[in-house]
């Protein structure tokens, strides 16, 4: 509920996904700095899941309306030849018809056909709650540590780090 320029959405989601991947082993989760473009950061999207060195899942995460990320998500889908791509944004999640319409209204990267695109739009808060519930106690601890790391190292607003520490003290 505290505005963060998207830091809370991206870094909480990435930290929880990281902890889940760590609990189950075999995969790695990476996220970029808040202000970096995906390409310059060397990541497929805001948050990516890798199996070995291959990107297997890509998430565009935003504090804005989900439709602002559709074109970017389609570019990621095409560039990394993924089976699907995800957008995590404030809810409520749209219907399948709304997603289909948004895809059809977006300029398609070469080689993509609108009817064959697998794009999911997740309510970022609901998805974070789901990830928390799937984590054991050590995983939740790992997620908190990773969130602190993301806030301290991947964005320039020291106030967000202070807010995080004060919330833990409550």
What is the per-residue pLDDT for 165? 73
Mean pLDDT, contiguous 10-residue spans, the chain (170 residues): 76 95 92 70 86 94 94 94 96 95 94 94 96 96 92 81 73
In 3D space, the residue among 52, 61, 58 whose CA is nearest the CA of residue 10 turns out to be 61
**What residues are paired with 116 via a beta bridge?**
none
pTM of the model: 0.88
């Amino acid at each position: 509920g505290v505005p963060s320029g998207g830091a809370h959405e991206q870094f909480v989601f990435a930290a929880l996904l990281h902890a889940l991947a760590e609990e189950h082993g075999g995969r790695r989760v990476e996220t970029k700095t808040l202000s970096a473009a995906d390409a310059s950061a060397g990541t497929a999207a805001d948050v990516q899941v890798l199996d070995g060195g291959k990107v297997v899942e890509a998430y565009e995460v935003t504090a804005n309306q989900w439709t602002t990320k559709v074109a970017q998500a389609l570019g990621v889908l095409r560039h990394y030849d993924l089976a699907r791509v995800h957008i995590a944004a404030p809810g409520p999640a749209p219907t399948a018809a709304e997603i289909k319409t948004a895809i059809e209204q977006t300029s398609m990267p070469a080689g993509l056909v609108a009817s064959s695109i697998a794009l999911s739009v997740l309510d970022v808060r609901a998805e974070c709650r789901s990830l928390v519930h799937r984590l054991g106690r050590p995983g939740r601890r790992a997620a908190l540590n990773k969130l602190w790391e993301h806030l301290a190292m991947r964005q320039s607003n020291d106030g967000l780090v202070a807010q995080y520490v004060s919330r833990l003290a409550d």
